Amino acid sequence: TQLLEQSPQFLSIQEGENLTVYCNSSSVFSSLQWYRQEPGEGPVLLVTVVTGGEVKKLKRLTFQFGDARKDSSLHITAAQPGDTGLYLCAGAGGGSNYKLTFGKGTLLTVNP
């Protein structure tokens, strides 16, 4: 069974701080996606990374796909309370029949 390990599981920081969330696997994925989920809602896609070494920026969020396509990171600069939520990474492909394999998520709380 493929596994995507996310760390940290919980993160509580003050507004204005920077943070990085990691997503690691022993499997190679054809693409990796990051989602954010808020209470009572479904996950919302933030970005898809496809190429090893790829870096994508979305305002204050920077996403990186590892060279070997086994890991990814999400960096948030100057976090704001509106960034609070559950961040999920998900891998596609990699020899599995699963549409997507999800990590268990990082619950981020940004305090004002």
Partner 1 sequence: KAGVTQTPRYLIKTRGQQVTLSCSPISGHRSVSWYQQTPGQGLQFLFEYFSETQRNKGNFPGRFSGRQFSNSRSEMNVSTLELGDSALYLCASSVPTVGGEVFGPGTRLTVL
Which residue in 28, 109, 34, 18 sits closest to 67, CA to CA?
A: 28
Choices 12-20, 45-53, 60-68, 77-85; region in contact with partner 1 by CB under 8 A: 45-53
Q: Which of residues 56-95 bind partner 1 (CB under 8 A)?
A: 88, 90, 92
Residue closer to partner 1 by CB (options 1, 112) is 1
Residue selected from 25, 33, 64, 72 as contacting partner 1 according to rule CB under 8 A: 33
Residue selected from 66, 85, 94, 103 as contacting partner 1 according to rule CB under 8 A: 103
Distances (CA, A) of 19 to 2, 40, 60: 26, 25, 11
Residue with tokens 């394999």: 101
Q: Assign 88 to helix, strand or coil.
A: strand
Smallest gap from Cβ 20 to partner 1, in A, equals 20
Residue with tokens 């190679």: 28
**Amino acid occupying residue 50:** V
Element (H, E) at 33: strand 31-37
Answer yes or no whether residue 3 interacts with partner 1 by CB under 8 A: no
Answer yes or no whether residue 22 interacts with partner 1 by CB under 8 A: no
Q: Which residues are at the interface with partner 1 (CB under 8 A)?
A: 1, 31, 33, 35, 40-45, 48, 50, 88, 90, 92, 97-105
